Structure 1
Amino acid sequence: MFDVEIGKGTGKMGKSAAIAELWRGGQLESTHFGHAVICGADGSIEAAWGDPGTVIFPRSSCKMMQALPLMESGAGRDLTPKQLGLVCASHNGAAIHREAVAAWLGDMGLTEADLRCGVQEPADRAERDLLIKTDASPCQWHNNCSGKHSGFLMLNKHLGGHAEYIEADHPVQMAVKAAHEEVTGEVSAGFGVDGCSAPNYSTSLQGLGRAMAYFACAEEGGDARANAAYRLSRGMMAHPEMVAGEGRACTALMRAMGGRVAIKTGAEAVFVAIIPELKKGIALKVMDGGTRGAELAITALLVRLGVLDAAHPVVGQYLNTVERSRRGIECGSLRVAAGFGV
């Protein structure tokens, strides 16, 4: 199991499965290995590859879980669907994200200085070019987790906590930990500090899949937690542009599914999906941390379950893609490994 202290945990990791293969010149060049699980309405495993008991850090894939206390406390009752997409986001730092965070903080009487996520250069090219042209500097509004942290600040105002809301023993993070353990159905083995400086609690793949299935089954008008889970997932589905941004798999794939499914990536090749119409949840982890393997894997599983049309043009961007040289010559392909997703 993970030790709480970063770098000293060994982790529980079972035998992984081949997920994606890169072929070049008729030879297998690289293989991405990992673990994946599909959980049903009762949290049980309906399909798995690798070891669903593997313990991981979910990283940003669990942002909707981290936002549960904000919503079930009532602090976020008046948030719009667009803001709910933002609170679950790992966004590009584009103008639409920066402006939304700035406005939200302003409405709370707070400023950029109240955030504790850290400064990050925006991934959005237009926003980055604007900073260069105006000789301006990136700030915490651009941080891909600034929406989540705005939610932490809103909850903190409600709870009356001190300014350092990212500390593990702060009331905000204690509420996040409790919600995390309840929806995963597991006592977390510990936490690591995420890139945005907040605690990130470990869980098994099955626990993460079980949590996503809970979100998939949540209905409007239920108890406080179910209503919170429903609103958060529907905010993501309604505003995929806020969850990630242009050129990102989360946004592109959610658009392709027409607001029927919420998906979310996390650093180091984690991906989850919430599928209300099937009352199922997906969680996966590619062990080498490679984004291309994780994007292929989530696309393959969404196609397998019939919620993503295999003929949709976006599928070809992530599933069985063609590798080309810089002169445009076809030189290889990234394929689903035999046995994965079937």
Structure 2
Amino acid sequence: MTLSSSFGSSRPGIPPLEVRLLREGIPESSHRVHAVVCDQRGRVLMRAGDPQRLSFMRSAQKPFQATVFVSCGAADMGDSSDRGLAIACASHAGTPAHAREAFKLLWQADLETEQLQCPVPAGATSPLEHNCSGKHAAFLAACRRMGWSRETYLLDDHPLQQEVRKRVAELLALPAAELVSARDDCGAPTLQLQLAQMALLFAHLGASQQPDLERLSRAMLAHPELVAGEGRFDTELMRHSHGQVVSKGGAEGIQCLSRVGEGLGVAIKVEDGSARAKHAVALHLLEQLDWLMPMTLDELRGRFLQPAPHLQLQVNGELRFD
């Protein structure tokens, strides 16, 4: 059974979630949010809104892009530690510590910073400071290991990108030719997927049954400070989950989660692309799914649901069984 036919059986009429911004208790703004929980077989277990909604996966795809870096042996060429694997999956803050880890991937593969094709951020001096530099460094290391062109590694028809597409397609039980991609802001291809397909990928990521994915998820949990940065959502959530929840967000309102060892994945899409709304919904769903302790949730809510003393984010609705 393909994903499309499996997901097509979902019941209509389960509304999306709503996130409201309250200013001293008075509603000011609102966001519509779709969310879905899938298991490793691609079955939609719970949802709010449309599990077939299409969106680009953006940076939530990074752990799956990094699988080529691991599987081809490039991650072991210079004895890359878990820190190197974590930065390969990162959307980091561009701090000196983050840039240093991305540089280490290049140095271990005997590559130069100038070969990175991610942009130099505004106000920065090096592409190493770009939030995707770890991903790009891992791309280049894989190309060096496999003897692929390092000048064209971002092209959709490059062997590296075709290998990424192939691996994602295998996890989704789809022909690779069916996957649609477009250029991400860093220059790399990003896949357009159904929300339920994103949840399925994260079900695999946390299941600890695919050696390459298990190695990457373990590295992300061991070094959450490298995956995003101090005070950022993915870092704080993984740190406070004590190794139980893998979290990776993407631009335009994408947030994906997995529960380690359970083979369940969650994908969230905010219609208007709001980051604050996806974080609010993620915490709301983690409570409903009972994936975090109440004390932990309270601490995270204090960080991410109250952007200012007079402001509060409120989530209305819940996941329902499909």
State the TM-score bracket (shorter-chain normalisation). 0.7 to 0.9
Partner deviation per Cα, 1:199-228 (whole Å, 9 max, x = no partner): 111110111111111122233xxxxxx110
Query: Are 2:308 and 1:318 equivalent residues in the alignment?
Result: no
Q: CA 1:304/1:277 → structure 2, altered by over 3 Å: closer, same or farther?
A: farther
Structure 2: gaps (5+ residues): 1-12
Q: Is the 8 A contact 2:35 2:319 kept in 1?
A: no
Alignment of 1:56-71 (within 5 A): 56-71=55-70
Aligned-pair CA distance for 1:339: 3.5
Alignment RMSD = 2.1
SS in structure 1 of the partner of residue 20 of structure 2: strand
Tell me which protein shows more helix as a share of its residues.
2
Q: What is the TM-score normalised by the length of structure 2?
A: 0.88
Q: Is the 8 A contact 1:116 1:164 kept in 2?
A: no
The worse-fitting range, judged by mean Cα deviation, of 232-241 and 107-116 is 107-116
Query: Are 2:261 and 1:277 equivalent residues in the alignment?
Result: yes
Q: Is the 8 A contact 1:161 1:171 kept in 2?
A: yes
Q: What is the TM-score normalised by the length of structure 1?
A: 0.83
Residue of structure 1 in register with 2:112 after alignment: 111
Alignment-mate amino acid for residue 30 of structure 1: S
Residue of structure 1 in register with 2:244 after alignment: 260
SS in structure 2 of the partner of residue 149 of structure 1: helix
Aligned partners of 2:145 and 2:58: how far apart in 1?
Answer: 25
Residue of structure 1 in register with 2:161 after alignment: 173
Q: How many aligned positions are there? A: 302
Alignment-mate amino acid for residue 28 of structure 2: E
Aligned-pair CA distance for 1:152: 0.4
Aligned-pair CA distance for 1:338: 3.2
The worse-fitting range, judged by mean Cα deviation, of 208-217 and 274-283 is 274-283
SS in structure 2 of the partner of residue 118 of structure 1: coil
Aligned-pair CA distance for 1:335: 0.3
Aligned partners of 1:305 and 1:198: how far apart in 2?
Answer: 34
Query: Are 2:7 and 1:17 equivalent residues in the alignment?
Result: no
Aligned partners of 1:290 and 1:82: how far apart in 2?
Answer: 29
Aligned-pair CA distance for 1:230: 0.5
Residue of structure 2 in register with 1:152 after alignment: 139
Alignment of 1:151-230 (within 5 A): 151-162=138-149, 163-187=151-175, 188-219=178-209, 226-230=210-214
Aligned partners of 2:319 and 2:197: how far apart in 1?
Answer: 20
Residue of structure 2 in register with 1:6 after alignment: none
Aligned-pair CA distance for 1:189: 4.4
Q: Is the 8 A contact 1:37 1:49 kept in 2?
A: yes
SS in structure 2 of the partner of residue 155 of structure 1: helix
Q: Is the 8 A contact 1:43 1:214 kept in 2?
A: no
Q: Is the 8 A contact 2:16 2:317 kept in 1?
A: no
Aligned partners of 1:290 and 1:210: how far apart in 2?
Answer: 23
SS in structure 2 of the partner of residue 311 of structure 1: helix
Aligned partners of 1:291 and 1:23: how far apart in 2?
Answer: 16
Aligned-pair CA distance for 1:183: 1.7
Q: Which runs of 4+ in 1 moved over 6 A?
A: none
Partner deviation per Cα, 1:3-56 (whole Å, 9 max, x = no partner): xxxxxxxxxxx9961331123365432211121111123221111111000111
Query: Are 2:90 and 1:86 equivalent residues in the alignment?
Result: no
Q: Is the 8 A contact 2:234 2:248 kept in 1?
A: yes
